[in-house]
Amino acid sequence: METSTGNSLILLSPNSQSLTDFNSSFNHLSTLISSSPTHLCSPNPTAAARKVFAKIPKPKLTFSSTTVSNQELSQNPKKRNWLKPAARGSPATQALFKDLSTLERALIGAAAGGIAGAFTYVCLHPLDTVKTRLQTKGASEIYKGAFDVIVKTFQSKGILGFYSGVSAVIVGSTFSSAVYFGTCEFGKSFLSRCGSYPPLLIPPTAGAMGNIMSSAIMVPKELITQRMQAGAKGRSWEVLLRILEKDGILGLYAGYSATLLRNLPAGVLSYSSFEYLKAAVLRETKQANLEPYQSVGCGAMAGAISASLTTPLDVVKTRLMTQGHGEAVNKVSAALYSGVRDTVKQILKEEGWVGFTHGMGPRVFYSACFSAIGYFAFETARLTILNEYLRRKELEVAAVPADAVADQSG
């Protein structure tokens, strides 16, 4: 009996549930053995003995050196997070996160968007320069392709030629991206609290709201940048002064309607595609936030989809912005267009449908890189700012009771 009981106890190793279950079962078994030895010694154990053994947790196959704590960790592995989400903090932090107002979420999004926008635009400005020169009217008579643009730009102006108008980009992109992402976050938060609004329409609606608001800042920035990329001489502020002297304040909004015509579909496609892809990834992985490579992948796909479908609109916008400024890279590009409809007619008449695809390759590549870097930078900046903001709010809330106790004791 002692041998068989001992062999049985040797096989009972602590499992991943807890040592308490094992100890309680063991004590119950010892009590039963001491009180009813004949039942367990018989070759046919009684029903009571079967119930005792049934209550003992069955061990899982593990290595003999595995401890209880290691087994618990292996069953509930902690996922490696590149940035710990604030919502996974203490209960107080989670409560603060849920209580964030729509304005607070918008301001956090605006701050993160400004940082991400400036960083992304500066990184990809050379590609935008190549794209702009390919889309300028008469470019097909000067350049054979994107590689030819790169070679001739480098030969004529050196490496700095790819950064024409970068100062306007830094200033304009910071403010326009802050307005864009701030408005998008505001729209998402506001619409999500409207129970009657369809959740599926929240991302495209928020993207449209962000584009309408940010275009008022982005159009003058793009106008100055593209004039310089197309051959205008001087610094950004000098180009700005010449535009104001010649056309007034309204001259800064040349191509505004075309920009909205391009940005609204592009913004809706890009932002909503990223949000849908992000939601799908988080649902499958059961994570609270995207990993870096996931942000890059979702952003690149969203940017490529948006750019490929809106290149014709971008061609029209570029023609309107680079027309007749007197410092064009060639005489052909100085031709004037009276508006979006006239621009479309002239492109169809002179170049056919192919004219609307000029610069598609660089633009799709640029937009994919831009969205990949931009959404990655935005997610990183947003989570960093959000965590720091919630941490400070939690410290402020914790300090209030301490101050109250100090006042009562005083």
User: Can you spell out the DSSP letters for 139-176?
Assistant: GGGT-SSHHHHHHHHHHHH-GGGGGTTHHHHHHHHHHH
Q: How confident is the model at residue 393 (pLDDT cuts 50, 70, 90)?
A: confident
For residue 332, pLDDT over 70 is answered with no
For residue 133, pLDDT over 60 is answered with yes
CA neighbours within 13 Å on the CB side: how many for 241? 6
For range 269-280, the mean pLDDT: 91
Q: Between residues 128 and 35, which one has the greater pLDDT?
A: 128
pLDDT of residue 121: 84
Q: How far apart are CA 28 and CA 386, in angstroms?
A: 52
Q: Between residues 404 and 309, which one has the greater pLDDT?
A: 309
Q: Which amino acid is at 157?
A: K
pLDDT digits (tens, 9 = 90+) for 188-203: 999 988 878 898 999 9
Checking 203-208 for CB contacts under 8 A at 24+ apart, the result is 203/271, 203/272, 203/275, 203/276, 204/268, 204/271, 204/272, 206/271, 207/267, 207/268, 207/270, 207/271, 207/272, 208/264, 208/267, 208/268
pLDDT of residue 17: 47
Q: How far apart are CA 272 and CA 241, in angstroms?
A: 37
pLDDT of residue 406: 54
Q: How far apart are CA 218 and CA 116, in angstroms?
A: 15
Quick check: pTM over 0.75? no
pLDDT digits (tens, 9 = 90+) for 212-244: 888 887 788 778 877 777 777 777 778 888 888
For residue 112, pLDDT over 90 is answered with yes
Distances (CA, A) of 364 to 101, 125, 265: 37, 14, 15
Q: How far apart are CA 311 and CA 363, in angstroms?
A: 7
pLDDT of residue 47: 55
For range 267-294, the mean pLDDT: 89
Show the CA angle centred on residue 15, arms to residues 11 and 20, nearest 5°.
Answer: 105
